[in-house]
A and B are shown apart, each in its own frame.
Chain A
Amino acid sequence: MKSLTAEDLSIYEWQLDVPHFGEEGQRKLKNATALVSRAGGLGGALTMQLAAAGFGKIILAHEGELKPSDLNRQVLMKQSEIGKLRVTQAKETINRFKPDIEVEAINANFNETNAKDLVAKADIVFDCAPLFEERFLMNRECVNQNKPLVDCAMFNLEAQLMVILPGLTPCLQCIFPEKPPHWKRKFPVFGAVAAFVASLGALQGIKIIAGMPNVLINQMLYINSDTLLFRKIPIHKNQNCKICSHLTKKDIQ
């Protein structure tokens, strides 16, 4: 396990006194690998906060080149780099901020071919993907490998956040067994909405890895930033869930 250096203590000084975190929590982050699916509006903002907090390694999986319409929310990108790979730009931005964080940039979306290997390399997974097929695949693979999954989502001025701890909490498909048939890939949203739910998601990940209390368990957080309604909705496992109902507490390590 890597130890904290004098430079680490200096950089993270302002968070070391957060209750239940301390040097032990910082050490855990330094030795943790996060997988972030997509480096766009949600994923980019979330990745920046993981880097700020001091995750040791971040794997970013996102295929494709930057488009103009990405620039209202994809804060790791540069307008001068339209047409260039998003994931490469994301890596450059993060490493300009924090050179010591290992960023593995993969020019591919999370898919059936890479799912198993990507999740196997991670201690925690952050779902920031737009397609429900991708989200469900991430959910399934995290359940199969018993890895925590932080599920972030947004639409218009709203956001939702869930933490999935396989076997202990509902999985994504306990709550949403199928994708909404009318879902459209492009939807209205501000970058500021992506930023706040991404930050909340990053914080859940920090708490999980550092072993801090009050992780969002068995609740879904719903936020309406138009009316400033914040609501924690109790959610429960579906005993017939095709993804996780086979897990019992004794399966949890």
Chain B
Amino acid sequence: MNIKFMYTSQIALLAKTDEETIDVPNTSNIKQAITVLLSKKTEDFKRLLFNQSDNLLQAILLIKNGNQISYEDLATLKDGDEIMIFSPMSGG
């Protein structure tokens, strides 16, 4: 099934895109979908989301179809779901 990933700030800059659609297995939950995403990305991209112990950084906010979601959420995603991976911004 197709999952649309949206990125913000540093993540979007590194990915060189605000969004992309990734094909993931039909039974995927959010953790599994992100695993598929990361398999197509560089180590630098992964490090924007995960620490060296492969835990999702607490600074990352995950938003599914416009609502906050936990990385540990076990619900199966649906075709066409949108996952926003939100990295915080700052001032200046």
List A contacts of B87 (CB < 8 A): 180
**Which one, A127, A159, A234, contacts B67 given CB within 8 A?**
A234
Which residues of B, 1-60, contact A by the 8 Å Cβ criterion?
A: 8-10, 12-13, 18, 47-48, 51, 57-60
Whether A93 sits at the interface, judged by CB under 8 Å, is no
- Please tell me if A176 contacts chain B, counting CB pairs below 8 Å: yes
| Complex contacts, A130 vs chain B, CB 8 Å | 90-92
Alpha-carbon distance between A187 and B60 when the two chains are bound, in angstroms = 18
Residue contact A135 to B18, C-beta cutoff 8 Å: no
Question: CA separation between A108 and B72, bound complex, in Å?
Answer: 42
Are B68 and A158 touching (Cβ within 8 A)?
no
CA distance A154 to B86 in the complex (A): 13
- In the complex, which of the residues A43, A181, A187, A233 contacts B57, with contact meaning CB atoms closer than 8 Å? A181
Is there contact, CB below 8 Å, between A154 and B91? yes
Q: A128 interface residue, CB < 8 Å from B?
A: yes
Q: How far is the CB of A171 from chain B (nearest CB, A)?
A: 13
Contact with B along A220-253 (1 / 0, CB 8 A): 0010101100010111100000000000000000
Q: Does B80 contact A (CB under 8 A)?
A: no
A178 in contact with B89 (CB, 8 Å):
no
Q: Is the CB of B47 within 8 A of A135?
A: no
In the complex, A177 has a CB within 8 A of chain B: yes
Q: Report whether B92 and A226 are in contact in the complex, using a CB–CB cutoff of 8 Å.
A: no
Q: How many A-B residue pairs have CB under 8 A?
A: 104
CA distance A160 to B88 in the complex (A): 8
Contact A180 B10 (CB under 8 A): yes
Q: Taking A130-B90, A153-B88, A222-B8 as contacts, is the C-beta distance between A176 and B13 under 8 angstroms?
A: no
The residue of chain B having its C-beta at the shortest distance from the C-beta of A172 within the complex is B88
Smallest CB separation, B29 vs chain A (Å):
20
| A38, A73, A158, A227 — most chain B CB neighbours (10 Å) | A158
> Using a Cβ–Cβ cut-off of 8 Å, how many residues does chain B contribute to the interface with A?
26
Contact B57 A178 (CB under 8 A): yes
How far, in angstroms, from A222 to B63 measured CA to CA in the complex?
A: 12
Does A234 lie within 8 Å of B68, measured CB to CB?
yes
A227 to B9: give the CA distance in the assembly, Å.
14
Does any Cβ of B come within 8 Å of A40's Cβ?
yes
* B60 neighbours in A (Cβ, 8 Å): 180
Tell me, rounded to whole Å, the shortest Cβ–Cβ distance linking B72 to chain A: 14
Known: A181-B51, A234-B68. A153 touches B91 (CB 8 A): yes
Residues of A contacting B12 in the complex (Cβ-Cβ under 8 angstroms): 156, 158
Nearest CB of chain B from residue A132's CB, rounded to whole Å: 6
- 9 further A-B pairs in the complex, CB-CB below 8 A; given A179-B59, A180-B59: A37-B91, A154-B92, A158-B9, A158-B12, A158-B89, A176-B58, A176-B59, A178-B57, A233-B67
Chosen A-B contacts, 26 in total, with CB atoms closer than 8 Å, are A40-B92, A43-B91, A129-B91, A130-B92, A132-B90, A153-B90, A154-B91, A155-B89, A156-B13, A158-B9, A158-B12, A160-B8, A160-B89, A176-B88, A179-B88, A180-B10, A180-B57, A180-B60, A181-B57, A183-B10, A186-B92, A224-B18, A233-B68, A233-B86, A234-B68, A236-B68
Question: A-contacting residues of B (Cβ < 8 Å)?
Answer: 8-10, 12-13, 18, 47-48, 51, 57-61, 63, 66-68, 84, 86-92
